[in-house]
Amino acid sequence: MNRLFFIFVFLSILLQNFSKIYILLRFEMNQDYIEKNLCIKKDEPDNCCKGKCYLNKQLEEDEEKQKPQTSDNLKEKEDIQYCESVLTTLLGTFELTEIVSEYILTASLGIGISVFRPPKV
Amino acid sequence: MPTIYRYNRIIILTGLLVVAVISQAQELFPHNEPASNLPKRVIGIRPFFKAYPELGVVRQMYALRLMYGLTPKLTIMGTISVTNHHGKDLPPNLVSHIHSGTQTVYSTNNIQRGIKYPYLFSGIYLYAKYRFITVDRKNEHFRMAAYADWSNVGVPHDEAEPSLMDDTKGYGGGLIATYLKNHFAASFTGGFIIPGHYNGYSPDPGSPDVPTRIQYGKAAIYNLSFGYLWFPKQYSDYGQTNINLYMEFIGKSYEAAKVTQFGYVNVPIQTPLLEKGNYIELHPSVQAIFNSNLRIDLSIGLPIVRRSYARFYPVFYLGIQRYLFPKLKKKTSKTKENE
């Protein structure tokens, strides 16, 4: 059981970081091509970048892709869900139904001032 | 012959064919052929798939291979493939020229990578292997075979490195030596490729396309494969699942390509894509064989000494293979009557 749990946790961690590991591996394997063709300093004689600018760009893009699932967005989603659940508890659930009747259609949409009169003593 | 003996014979013969195929399971290398052959009249079908990411585009190859044991010593194979590795013409800036005064300066350049290409039929690749040395002992054997291959692939391949199966037409040959002992197998393949040329057109912006000929470089191949039968440790029946682990080193050295335009202009080679080169790749693989028949190969290819300019890394491979055993003759009504 412990072994299974360990494998599950290990795989979860691995999968979470898989895209980054994959990007790093791909960079390592194709670095010579990237350095000569895609690096912003490719034409400089002493290229100290060696294609790392491309790697950083790829990692940033990956971070961007993963953003909707993390940090601020996730917190915002949690806040909305919390408010919804509080309102549901307080007010109960109700359905919004469209009522179609002649009375409502012909009713005045303005405020009936005549209604707001002080009562006769 | 009594019926029961006839059926026993069929079962024994089929069993022997199965044993012949799986008893050396750890030498069924995913990327290299062993010196052993398919048993006579056994058919093998292998659909396989290769893919690698190339700057935002996934290059893929779908192939289908048919194998046949013509005699116990001779196996023949045919492979067809569809890939999205190449466009219909050569890439726009692979070969170009500029006009400087009265002179024209020709050059070869690195092409833009990550361009989407359509899926094109590559062609037909044929392969024959003849086993000429067989030294068999209990749980041990040494075999040697000679092979010859040929292809009519005619896609606009844009690198010097030839590959008969999916990139260049031509022919080749070589020798295979395979040694197997208990759970281990090792095999070496040494060979050559004499590629053909590609005749096509190179785009020239603002002008008609330029007739271009690329003669790909001759190549030497040196592959070393190791296999290990991981499971089962001991066979109990033929239906047992086999798990084999492989480590294959694939090496190639090739000459520079020769590029000619208009039939007479020799274009200087200034890009590593068309220069001579050499590399060694490592392909670790895992293989499962179910019911002694259905074989599934999974592997990943990585560069370990320099690299191939014909692909990006890692290269993923998936192969599925099935054997069809010959139907042994059943008794006819006439033979029944005679009995």
How does the average pLDDT of chain B come out, rounded?
A: 88
Chain B positions touching A23 (Cβ under 8 A) are none
Length of chain B in residues, anyone? 339
**Min distance A29 CA to chain B CA atoms (Å):** 6
Quick: pLDDT tens for B246-287: 999 999 999 999 999 988 888 888 888 899 999 999 999 999
Domains in chain B, number = 1
Taking only the tens place, the pLDDT of each residue in A32-88 is: 888 888 888 877 777 788 888 888 988 888 888 877 655 556 666 666 666 666 666
| Lowest mean pLDDT segment, chosen from B126-140, B230-244, B274-288 | B230-244
Chain B residues with CB under 8 Å of A36 CB are: 110, 272
Cβ neighbours of A37 in B, within 8 Å: 110, 113
- Reply yes or no on whether the pLDDT at A113 is more than 70: no
Which of A26, A32, A38 is opposite residue B307, by nearest beta carbon?
A: A32
Which of these, B295, B279, B308, B323, lies nearest to B26 by C-alpha position? Answer: B295
Of B110, B272, B313, the CB nearest to A30: B313
Q: What ipTM was predicted for this assembly? A: 0.71
d(CA A25, CA B313): 9
A52-66 and A18-37 helices, crossing angle to 10°: 150
3-state secondary structure of B9: helix
For B55-103, what is each residue's pLDDT tens digit?
889 999 999 999 999 999 999 999 999 999 999 889 888 888 888 888 8
Over residues B297-332, the pLDDT tens digits come to 999 999 999 999 999 999 999 999 999 988 766 555
Q: Starting at the edge strand that comes first in sequence, how are the strands of the sheet with B207-215 ordered?
A: B197-204, B207-215, B258-261, B265-267
Whether B196 contacts chain A with CB within 8 A: no
B52 interfacial to chain A (CB closer than 8 Å):
no
Whether the Cβ atoms of residue B145 and residue B179 lie closer than 8 Å to each other: no
- Can you tell me the distance from the alpha carbon of B154 to that of B148, in angstroms, rounded to the nearest whole number? 19
Tell me which residue in A26, A29, A37 faces B110 most closely, judged by beta carbons: A37
| Neighbouring-strand partners of residue B148 | B128, B173
The CATH number linked to B111 is 2.40.160.40
CA distance B276 to chain A (A): 16
pLDDT value, residue B77: 97
Where does residue B160 fall: left (phi above 0), alpha (psi -120 to 50 degrees), or beta otherwise? alpha
Cα B60 to Cα B49, B279, B318, B322: the distances in Å are 7, 21, 11, 22
How many beta-carbon pairs below 8 A join chains A and B? 24
Kindly list the distances between the CA atom of residue A87 and the CA atoms of A13, A81, A83, A92, A94, in Å, as whole numbers in the listed order.
36, 10, 6, 8, 11
Q: Which residues of B touch A19 (CB under 8 A)?
A: none
Q: What is the distance in angstroms between the CA of the first residue and the CA of the last residue of chain A?
A: 82
Structural domain containing residue B112: 3-338
Rounded Cα–Cα distance for residues B212 and B159 (Å): 14
Cβ contacts (< 8 Å) between B309 and chain A: which residues? Answer: 33
pLDDT digits (tens, 9 = 90+) for B163-215: 999 999 999 999 999 999 999 999 999 999 999 999 999 888 778 888 999 99
Alpha-carbon gap, residue B167 to B162, rounded angstroms: 7
Q: Longest Cα pair distance anywhere in chain A, in angstroms?
A: 100
Nearest CA in chain A to B311: A30
